Structure 1
Amino acid sequence: MTAAQDRLPRLLALVPYLIARPGIRIEEAAADFEVTTKQLRKDLELLWMCGLPGYGPGDLIDISFDEDTVTVTFDAGMRRPLRLTGAEATALLVALRALVDTPGVVDADAIRRAVAKIEVAAGQAQPAGVAVGLGVREAAETVKVRESVQAALQAGRAIRMAYYTASKDEVTERTVDPMRVLIVEGRGYLEAWCRRAEAVRLFRLDRIDELAVLDEPAAPPPYAEPTDVSAGLFRAAPDQSVARLVLEPDARWISEYYPVEDVEELGAGRLRVSMRYSDTSWIVRLLLGLGGEVSVEEPPHLADELRAQAAAAVTRIDRYLAAT
């Protein structure tokens, strides 16, 4: 573990530690954190410049320390325990579960204890626009997929799998060279070199089926670059159309399963979203499957196509019933 990785947890723990021990001797605090007194003084000087946005005199942490003792005189709100929203808690749980089986993790038992504590806290939390404890927990099938993917990564093996592409509504067979497993926006992904596409691709773990770890070694080409997900996963393309949809409560899952923008709560469980699409026939099939649980506000030609397809389907059903 690097010095920076060691220092951040120590800085986060220092303020509540010092608040509980006003006037503690610097040597004693340094011993508790297993650092030198020189390092602890550097940490205290850094904390002195930390605080809430604004960074005026009333916003920064205020620490009084001399040659022997140290006292926090203003904590800038850091004495309050960290409170996670339901979405944050479930995303953190998914990330921790993925991390616990990752090769090279120093203390897997500590991660499992953290998972147990977060699950208890999330279960006791009050809802805040999300369903705590019911959100992003992996299904049993996805857990098996993740474990197989991690085994392939650890062994340096290629993978053959069936993968469902939601935007095209199709399942394809692929052979891929795994590069890493990552969590983006609360969901697990395999990043790999796809031999079919001849490019780096991100595959959602819950859309992978019939996975097999091959005997042949994984060999991503040297020019395969990891995907930049710092600004999120979805990238809008200039040739995509945008549909503005109103989702009834039973269709809200669309906003979680597909990339959407401009999410607006309408009350009574209804949601207005903007959704990008490249294939009109695909989005028409998707919306037809939702029946009366979705309405199209824009664009007009999509609403017209949806009505025409629905009317044609009703006509075919009437003819079939009349013939039987």
Structure 2
Amino acid sequence: MSTRLSARLSRLLNMVPYFVANPGISAAEAAADLGVTTKQLMADLNQLWMCGLPGYGPGDLIDLSFSEESVQVTFTAGIERPLRLTSIEATAVLVALRSIVDLPGMVDPTAAHAAIAKLEAAISGGAPAATSAGPPEEAPAVTTVRSAVAAGRALRLEYYSASRDVVSTRVVDPIRIVAVDDNSYLQGWCREAEGVRLFRFDRIESAEELAEPSRPPQEARATDAGLDLFQDDPAVPLARLLIAPDYAWVLDQYPMHRMAVHPDGSLEATMRFATLDWMARLVLGFGSGVTVLSPPGLVAAVRERSAAALAAYDGAGLDESA
């Protein structure tokens, strides 16, 4: 509760200089800028009536004129400047910025690097360091996606699906940009799949902003919609695998669910996969470290590929005298 009240107090104190700098702005525009709902903004404005200087008389309290169409501060009670970050707060913001600046699409890299330089200077007490090297260039597809999300427009993507090993064209209604497991994604309604999907930025080969607006279904706009990268969809085939003890690390690298641990340290795990061909190639890459237990079709595919590889090896005609 105290954390929530502290956050609201900071927001209230910063609202005064914000409205002084933006006289006559509408409640809806201000709410969007401040990251709150219009209802919360109106509640905050009503609360500001009770804030001001000691004495708390008519000439001491903040005075403002507001409606949903226009907000204007008529008496600031001396609170004309935004609150300054403490060194701890500035460091926290700096760490957060550095953690996302290298994730494609999360922030405008030019603005982020400029903010980082200013924060570093503020923390050290000096001027922002001059540097000849600018921020890294953003891929054109990333810039297009960020622009479409900001403008609320649909996108046409050329997207590489690692699970299917194919590049496909998708028309997507963007919802937001998110970070999941140290990667950045476009969360959007895929018209082809008719569902919410995550499109990893480093797998978007090209992007075209369309003239039509983004119109994802209302239920798709939920913050956590589609954020489970590997949903347990019963429509997707399930492989059951036996993993050798020294290959247990694959559980951290692939979307597997551990089912059992055997006395010898080997593990049984399951993993959803999109195509038989892709899954067979993945398993073969682990050699004897991972064995397929089911389904039968995947077991047969791995055996056939193994036999073909051995036949090709034997047919190479090794020179035994070498």
What TM-score, normalized to structure 1? 0.49
What TM-score, normalized to structure 2? 0.49
Q: Greater Rg, structure 1 or structure 2?
A: 2
